[in-house]
Structure 1
């Protein structure tokens, strides 16, 4: 009997795929989920207006590493705006159909939503937000005082996950991908997550921040915290961000 991972690889090969929703003429899912709740919405500084220190790409790649120790210094709203733009920023939208972003995605499906746990950002109240990439703003999801601890626990008590300035949580909306690629689209979700997180690592090098990707987390607990059902939307990847002690010059 094949193990689960082997079975996944086998059954997502082309000979096993059923016709996709696109092939059957089913309307595609929306390119972005609706704005959550009636909480505060924060307009982020326009990416083009944010001044980013120059850093050589070779140096950014050379010095990129997972950093688990951060200063208590907050990151600025400009820096957060830049990092979110690096990971899911919209360069162009074909209204209602697809978007071109700062990261690659299979078929330009961009099946992620980005949640941002703010612990220490200048001018932003701590809490859980969602990044609305098309409008480039933050929408408040929860201001619950204990939400940082809940996410820390769901990240299996990794200490840096509660001593950071920001935790970025990517969730996948699989229908957005499988509409075109059937069950093989699940493979592409995980590939795309890597693209987004690597951009975060490289962008962080330019603004004196460190990043540590988190793949070890309690899936059910994380989905529950975000109010997700774990099927039509689920947490796929997490990253801690904070100011580092030294800066590349």
Structure 2
């Protein structure tokens, strides 16, 4: 198992939250420029990073149960091989799950949406509903879906501040994405988020 440490995230910048909200748009055409590990680090931290010594994260979670997992598929990031990676927020590192550029498989699984194939990286947010429904019953399903929205918006706003374009994708075959990720049966894909430099 290959593990890559990530650069420390930055906690302050001259790009305001207000400006990020103003400028955030769905981007479906990306340049060929690669992203770097510092950018990936910042995006992953914004999505699900640890912000408190008790393990609290950047996105709110019902009961602090944290049912989300974050992966990404890459074919164009400086410093790491192409593959599928899973984010470990506790150690702020990424774990290589599968070697190779699998963006084309995600493209097929997402009804041939070109931006999934063409972006340098595609983030995948999954949910393990059992972590939340175990405490909150069927209402926990709603809580997990809400949390995925919080995490995705954090990622998109952080990307905007880094001058990286994103688009959120919800149309895909769940079982195919699960298979590509090698995710367990109780872990369901909720979002694909292609990201890259804007042309």
TM-score range, shorter chain: over 0.9
Structure 1 residues 143-162: aligned runs within 5 Å = 143-145=99-101, 147-162=102-117
Structure 2: runs of 5+ lacking an equivalent: none
Is residue 2:126 matched to residue 1:171? yes
- Other structure's SS at 1:210 match: strand
Shift of the alpha carbon at 1:144?
A: 3.5
- Other structure's SS at 2:118 match: coil
TM-score (norm 2): 0.94
Q: Deviations over 1:148-170 (max 9, x none)?
A: 21111001100011111111101
- Other structure's SS at 2:59 match: coil
- Other structure's SS at 1:141 match: strand
Structure 1 residues 90-239: aligned runs within 5 Å = 90-94=50-54, 99-145=55-101, 147-230=102-185, 232-239=186-193
d(CA) in 2 for partners of 1:225, 1:107: 30
Q: Is the 8 A contact 2:169 2:192 kept in 1?
A: yes
4+ residue stretches of structure 1 with deviation over 3 A?
Answer: none
- Other structure's SS at 1:72 match: coil
Q: Deviations over 1:107-149 (max 9, x none)?
A: 211101111112211111111010011110010000045x221
Match of 1:45 among 1, 7, 26: 7
Provide closer, same or farther for how the CA distance between residues 172 and 71 of structure 1 changes in structure 2, counting only shifts above 3 A: same
Q: Which residue does the alignment assign to 2:32?
A: 72
- Other structure's SS at 2:56 match: strand
d(CA) in 1 for partners of 2:34, 2:183: 29
Provide closer, same or farther for how the CA distance between residues 120 and 162 of structure 1 changes in structure 2, counting only shifts above 3 A: same
Structure 1 residues 9-88: aligned runs within 5 Å = 39-48=1-10, 54-88=14-48
Q: Is the 8 A contact 2:81 2:100 kept in 1?
A: no
Shift of the alpha carbon at 1:207?
A: 0.9
d(CA) in 2 for partners of 1:181, 1:84: 27
Q: Is the 8 A contact 1:172 1:236 kept in 2?
A: yes
CA RMSD of aligned residues (A): 1.5
Paired residues, what number? 199
TM-score (norm 1): 0.76
